[in-house]
Chains A and B, each alone.
Chain A
């Protein structure tokens, strides 16, 4: 009889830590009177850091758990460390933002923690039913977080649009899961692999892959499923946008990688991805050119970046997967940073949000201007920043797979993108200020968030070796295929930890 042992709990440790702290926040919240919830913010920050530590601890505990529901391998550990890191920086940025906007709500932090638990679970789940539930946890908490600016009409619009379109997209994913169950008789990724490997796939498998691509395509906002992005990003609170443009996206890309590369579905989806990549890059970058609102501009830029990641998917093979994994990390660092600046600079009610408002920021607030410049340069892909290596590995992988045209489209797009990022930098340093009011002082927590994000961006640009190695191990773990479901639960219940893949 299989039983649940110590290892089963260790293999979902980050999720347990995050859920525990989420519940703790919810229990303490009613005991506090009215007023700031900064203490709860610091508590949830602790939770995120502990979850990250739990991710590191899992390095020695590879293997499946909970009767083949989740699997800890180099791939999931990479995201177990990355995603709590993202939410920690978002919480740091929120500490000041919530007081600034007069939002005193403990649920805000609870939702971030639960949402993060969902995202983390998505990356280690190897059972489509569990992936679906985790996806819903991460989505529903972001729908609610998007609606936190209730005083503004744009905030409500953002939340409702995100909710309706998001639920619609999740239904597509669920339909895809049902189809693949019909085709293979299982929803477990190892079982699907066994059923499809070497066999000729019927129409059901193709329909299933297409439906799951639509569902996940909405979550990562690649074209043509990107239309919601600018409106939702514009209305949602800036620190929440920092989270939802990186965390759920990284998790959804992880699911996409697992579904496409670990289930032995036929390779014909490549041309779909090819088209989606070209479309996302082009529509994203050209859409960003004409935006005047910085949040909308960054929203279009996030569509374009989803396109670059898809180039790596189209390249396939181990280097393609590693490039995609590395790209999610480096995109997370720079984008979280950029939105942290936007959230501080916006001020009460997010008033200063247009590109013109950033004029003269270089003189008015050197720290904000300097860190934003780093993030923007990284988004362009200038050497010495994380964005450079991310793009380099993606295009390198694409050329290895002879995707010359896609690479050309990507490089041309990067050049176009430089225009709108540089426009903001020029505005900050070369123009005189048009707004009289000096920006509010940067609080220590916000400064810490900015510095952490900037260090992350520079670190990935100067010493990408360690993270890139981890990404490669992750890609190998995916490539190596899932553990066989029949063997694992009995052996691992009390057995010694499985050695790391090396």
Chain B
């Protein structure tokens, strides 16, 4: 029961954050709303029994990527966005578009809910399934080589940044 309550509360916070993210006119406010969205999403993942994804969501998205976003916004010194003719038209077309799209998705899910099957929120947590163990097994055994090779990929990306950003006389 507690799980359902938590799901509804954080689902509502998530949707509210997402709406606020679009509605705000200052980029910093939008970025902070995005943190709210990501944090509540992490909790929903946790309720579904995906504790690894929840942790990664907090560390990578809410932590690293959001800091990067905020840095970029502050570096560019972006102010509040201006309303233009185009943005008003976008609201006029986009608003009903969102409503229709949401309607279609809800309708499809409701119609096919039998086929999709379902899980009770929180049932995964209570069963005590341990998918971090499974992920570790995949990542460090079956997919060990791709995992290690990724480090070469990252190394090349760093080299690329160094080469392209280096002063002209030193290259």
| A interface residue numbers (CB < 8 A to B) | 2, 4, 12, 19, 26, 34, 66-70, 103-105, 107, 110-111, 114-115, 117-118, 121, 127, 129-130, 133-134, 136-137, 140-141, 143-144, 147-148, 150-151, 159
Contacts and interface: CB of A to CB of B under 8 A. Distances in A.
Given A67-B144, A110-B159, A150-B171, A133 B153 contact: yes
A114 B163 contact: no
Nearest to B166: A105
Contacts of B162: 107
A144 B160 contact: yes
B163 A105 contact: yes
A129 B143 contact: yes
Closest 8 CB pairs of A and B: A144-B160, A66-B145, A130-B146, A69-B145, A67-B142, A105-B171, A107-B163, A137-B153
A69 B146 contact: yes
Contacts of A67: 141-142, 144-145
Nearest to A103: B171
B157 to A, nearest CB: 6
B2 interface: no
A134 B152 CA distance: 9
B145 A136 contact: no
A19 B159 contact: no
Q: Interface on chain B toward A: helix, strand, loop, or mixed SS?
A: helix
Given A103-B171, A107-B159, A114-B156, A144 B164 contact: yes
14 contacts: A26-B159, A69-B145, A69-B146, A103-B171, A111-B156, A114-B155, A127-B146, A133-B149, A140-B160, A141-B156, A141-B160, A143-B160, A144-B164, A150-B171
Contacts of B143: 69, 129
A496 to B, nearest CB: 23
Contacts of A115: 156
A347 B141 CA distance: 51
A69 B146 CA distance: 8
Given A67-B141, A67-B142, A129-B143, A144 B149 contact: no
A185 B124 CA distance: 22
B150 interface: yes
B111 interface: no
Q: Interface on chain A toward B: helix, strand, loop, or mixed SS?
A: helix
B152 A118 contact: yes
Given A114-B156, A133-B153, 7 more contacts: A34-B170, A67-B144, A103-B171, A105-B171, A133-B149, A141-B156, A159-B164
Contacts of A105: 163, 171
Contacts of A117: 152
Given A103-B171, A151-B168, A144 B145 contact: no
Could you say which of B149, B163, B164 has the most chain A C-beta atoms within 10 Å of its C-beta?
Answer: B149
Nearest to B161: A144
Contacts of A2: 141
A74 to B, nearest CB: 21
B142 A134 contact: no
A150 B152 contact: no
B146 A144 contact: no
Contacts of B153: 133, 136-137, 140
Could you say which of A34, A70, A136, A151 has the most chain B C-beta atoms within 10 Å of its C-beta?
Answer: A136
A150 B145 CA distance: 35
A144 B142 contact: no
A104 B171 contact: yes
A129 to B, nearest CB: 5
A366 to B, nearest CB: 35
Contacts of A110: 159
Nearest to A159: B164
A144 B163 contact: yes
Nearest to B148: A66
Contacts of A12: 145
Interface in B41-88: none
A281 B60 CA distance: 47
B163 A130 contact: no
Contacts of B152: 19, 114, 117-118, 137
